[in-house]
Amino acid sequence: MRIALAQINPTVGDIPANLRKATDFIQQAQSQQADVVVFPELSIIGYPPKDLLLKPQFIDDNLSAVEQLAEQVHGIDVIVGYAERNRLPVGRPLHNAVAVIREGKVVSRHYKTLLPTYDVFDESRYFEPSPQQERNEVVQVCDTPVGLSICEDLWNDERLIPRRLYHQNPLADLEARGAKLMINCSASPFVVGKQDFRIQLFASQSRQFNVPLVYVNQVGGNDELVFDGCSMVFDQTGQVIAQAKDFEEDLLVVDLEHPQTNRRHDHARGLESIYKALILGLKDYVRKCGFTSVVLGLSGGIDSALVCALAVAALGADKVTGVAMPSRYSSDHSLEDARKLATNLGIRFYVIPIEPAHRAMEQMLSEAFAGTESGLTEENMQARQRGNILMSLSNKFGSLLLTTGNKSEIAVGYCTLYGDMCGGLAVISDVPKTTVWELARWINQQAGRELIPQRSIDKVPSAELRPNQTDQDSLPPYEVLDAIIYRLIEEDKSVRQIIEEGFDPETVLRVTQLIDRSEYKRRQMAPGLKVTSRAFGFGRRMPVAQNYRQTIPSDLGNKT
C-alpha cells in the first residue's frame, strides 16, 4: 500500500480554501501513485474551530464540503477530518469525525473517542465521544483492515503517560477488532521537545500492538497555537520509516512494503524549533488575519530586537516598520542600537520623540497631581504615549502592531496596560527572558553576522522610564526569576516545593504574589504564540477576582 500523508495548513473557518487545498493534495497524491491519502483532524474546517462549531450554518457548510470533495474522488481513497452531527437524541450535538471517501461516496464515518479538556483543549464543550455501538469499527483499505483514530485517541499509553486521563485505549480496541494498520488524523500543537516524546509514545504503541502506525498532523499557525507537522509512519517494531518536514506543508508518500524508499526528514530541536515555531506562528497570524505588514517599537533592547528579527524572517524586510520613540530618559546608545538593528535588517525606520507629548501630559495633569510624588504613574505615562503612537501608525497604514514583552515580564506584570502591551500579537509572550538572549545569539550565529546588535544582547535590561533604571531594580536576576516562573507556571509547584529546591523564600513569595496580582493585565493582553507546555492565554484559566494566597511555611522562613 502506498499512503500519502497530506500535511496541510488549513485556515480555521475558510472552508472553500481548505476544500481547494484538499483537492490539490489529492491530485498530487494520485500523480505519485498513492492508494490512499490521509488528511489531519478537522482539516475541512481547521483546528481549533472553537465556537464556530456552535453555528448551525457553519456545520452545514462543512458537511456540504465533504460531499463536494467526495464527488471529485475517483481512483484513490481519501481519509479527511470534519465535524459531523450527532444523530442520537442525547449528548453534545457534534462528533469530531473522519470520513473515508471512495469512488464518489463516503463509505464510512469514524468518530473521536477521547476528548481532551486540559490546557488549550476544550473538546467536550462541542463534541460527543464516539457512540459505543459505532466505536472502534475497522475499515477495509486496499484489502487491509485499518483502524482509524483521531489525535487524542493515540495519547493513552499507560506506560508513558504519568497519569492516564481516560479509562479506555482506543488503539487496543481497534487491535482487538482485527486492525492490521493504524491511521491517526491529528491536530497536535507544538511545544518545545514534544516531537521527541511523540516518537517515543507512538513507537511504543506500534510495538505493543505489532502493527504499523500512520500519524498525520496539521501544520501552521492558528491564533495562539502553532502546529509543527512532523507527520510520521512507524513499522510494527516501532521504527520511524518515514517523517514529513517540520513547520511547513508537505505531501509524504510512503510505501509500506518498501520502507527503504521513503523520505525521512529530521526535525528541529531546542532553540531552532522555537525559532521555527515563532516564525510560522507570526507569518500565519498576519496572513490569516488579512494583514500584509507589521509595525513595532524599537527600544534598542533585546526584546524588540528579537521580535523585529523574527518579523523580517517571517514576512520580509519590506513588510516591517520599526519606530524608535526616545524620551528624556533614553540613553544615546538605545537610539543608536535601534537604528543599527533597522539598518542590519533593512527595514523602514522612524524616530518619533515622545518628549513633547510627555511634557504636555504632565502639564495637563499638573493640577490633579498637585501635592503628590512623581513615581510609577509618570513612568507608565511614557509607555502609554508610545502605545498611542504605535496604534496610530497601525490604524493609519493598516499594519498589525506587534508587542514585544517576554514571558518573564508578563508573568510578574513588568509591563504597562495600554502602553507596551498595546498590539495585535504578542510574539514572544511565551519566551522567557533567558531564552530571548539565547535566541538572539543563535540568530546571529546562524546568520554568520551581527543581525541583532551585540550591545542589545550584552546591555543590562532597562525600561528607561526614570534616570539610571534597570530591570533588576524591581525584579530578581532573570536566571532566578525564570527558574521560579517555570516551576510556578509550567510545573504548578507550591511555594514550599520551590523553597525546598534551594530558592530564597522571600524571592519565591514575592514572585508568586506578582504573578497573582498581574492576572488582570494578562487577561487584556494580545494573543501570544505558545511554545512552552504552559503559556499565558486561554490554556491557563485563572480567576482575576480571587484571594487565594500562598505563604512561606513557618519551618522554612519567618514571613507569613
Q: What's the pLDDT tens digit per position in 64-106?
A: 999 999 999 999 999 999 999 999 999 999 999 999 999 999 9
Q: Which residues contact 122 (CB under 8 A, 6 or more apart)?
A: none
Whole-number percent of the chain with pLDDT over 70: 97
Per the CB < 8 A criterion, the answer to whether 61 and 50 are in contact is no
Q: Is 538 domain-assigned?
A: no
Q: Do 284 and 252 lie in a common domain?
A: no
Query: Side by side, which strands form the sheet with 348-351?
Result: 348-351, 320-324, 294-297, 400-403, 425-426
Q: Is 188 domain-assigned?
A: yes
Question: Grid coordinates in use for 20?
Answer: 481547494
Nearest alpha carbon to residue 99 among 56, 62, 57, 55: 62
Average pLDDT over residues 34-50: 97
Q: Is 509 domain-assigned?
A: no
Place of cell 516551576: 487
Q: Do 65 and 203 lie in a common domain?
A: yes
Nearest alpha carbon to residue 242 among 260, 224, 226, 257: 260
Q: What is the pLDDT of residue 76?
A: 97
Q: What is the dihedral of CA 517, 518, 521, 527, to 10 degrees?
A: -140
How far apart CA 138 and CA 128 sit, in angstroms, is: 20
| Amino acid identity, position 384 | R
Tens of pLDDT, residues 159-208: 767 777 888 889 999 999 999 999 999 999 999 999 999 999 999 999 99
Q: What is the pLDDT of residue 560?
A: 44
Average pLDDT over residues 114-135: 88
Active site residues: 41, 112, 151
Nearest alpha carbon to residue 226 among 173, 271, 179, 276: 276
| Amino acid identity, position 359 | R
How far apart CA 195 and CA 201 sit, in angstroms, is: 10
The DSSP code sequence of 494-524 is: -HHHHHHTT--HHHHHHHHHHHHHTHHHHHT
Tens of pLDDT, residues 393-413: 999 999 999 999 999 999 999
CA quadruple 432, 494, 193, 187: dihedral positive or negative? negative
Comparing 331-335, 467-471, 511-515, the range with the smallest average pLDDT is 467-471
Give me the chain's average pLDDT, please: 93
How far apart CA 138 and CA 12 sit, in angstroms, is: 29
φ, ψ for residue 253, nearest 5 deg: -95, 125
φ, ψ for residue 559, nearest 5 deg: -85, 140
- Tell me, letter by letter, the H, E, C secondary structure of 318-350: HHEEEEECCCCCCCHHHHHHHHHHHHHHCCEEE
pLDDT higher than threshold 70 for residue 378: yes
Q: Do 243 and 328 lie in a common domain?
A: no
Q: Do 258 and 361 lie in a common domain?
A: no
Per the CB < 8 A criterion, the answer to whether 524 and 468 are in contact is no
Q: Do 251 and 354 lie in a common domain?
A: no
Q: What is the pLDDT of residue 464?
A: 62
| Amino acid identity, position 549 | R
* Residue that terminates a domain, selected from 237, 267, 297: 267
What CATH number does residue 355 fall under?
3.40.50.620
pLDDT higher than threshold 90 for residue 331: no
Average pLDDT over residues 420-445: 97
Q: Is 256 domain-assigned?
A: yes
φ, ψ for residue 288, nearest 5 deg: -75, -20
Q: Do 244 and 316 lie in a common domain?
A: no
What CATH number does residue 145 fall under?
3.60.110.10
Give the pLDDT band (50/70/90) at residue 310.
very high
Q: Is 519 domain-assigned?
A: no
Stated pTM of the model: 0.94
* DSSP H or E run through 206: helix 194-209
Domain holding 122, by residue range, is: 2-267
Q: Do 308 and 385 lie in a common domain?
A: yes
How far apart CA 121 and CA 123 sit, in angstroms, is: 6
pLDDT higher than threshold 90 for residue 330: no
Residues found in the chain: 560
Average pLDDT over residues 485-489: 97
Q: Is 96 helix (H, G, I), strand (E, B) or coil?
A: strand
| Amino acid identity, position 188 | S
CB-based burial label for 141 (10 Å; 0-12, 13-18, 19+) = buried
Domain count, the chain: 2
Q: Is 244 domain-assigned?
A: yes
* Residue that terminates a domain, selected from 435, 453, 472: 472
CB-based burial label for 555 (10 Å; 0-12, 13-18, 19+) = exposed
Q: Is 520 domain-assigned?
A: no
Q: What is the pLDDT of residue 167?
A: 82
Tens of pLDDT, residues 44-73: 999 999 999 999 999 999 999 999 999 999
Average pLDDT over residues 292-316: 97
How far apart CA 509 and CA 557 sit, in angstroms, is: 11
Tens of pLDDT, residues 267-284: 999 999 999 999 999 999
Q: Is 21 domain-assigned?
A: yes
Q: Which residues contact 395 (CB under 8 A, 6 or more apart)?
A: none
Q: Do 223 and 330 lie in a common domain?
A: no
Q: Do 96 and 166 lie in a common domain?
A: yes
Place of cell 488549550: 120
C-alpha pair distances (Å), 173 with each of 419, 502, 504 = 54, 47, 51
Q: Do 297 and 212 lie in a common domain?
A: no
Q: Do 282 and 194 lie in a common domain?
A: no
φ, ψ for residue 50, nearest 5 deg: 50, -135
Query: Side by side, which strands form the sheet with 94-102?
Result: 105-111, 94-102, 77-85, 36-38, 2-7, 250-255
Comparing 165-169, 303-307, 342-346, the range with the smallest average pLDDT is 165-169
Question: Grid coordinates in use for 384?
Answer: 502609554
Nearest alpha carbon to residue 532 among 266, 162, 274, 187: 274
Whole-number percent of the chain with pLDDT over 90: 84
Q: What is the pLDDT of residue 12?
A: 98
Per the CB < 8 A criterion, the answer to whether 151 and 117 are in contact is no
* Residue that terminates a domain, selected from 472, 487, 503: 472
Q: Do 215 and 170 lie in a common domain?
A: yes
Q: What is the pLDDT of residue 261?
A: 80
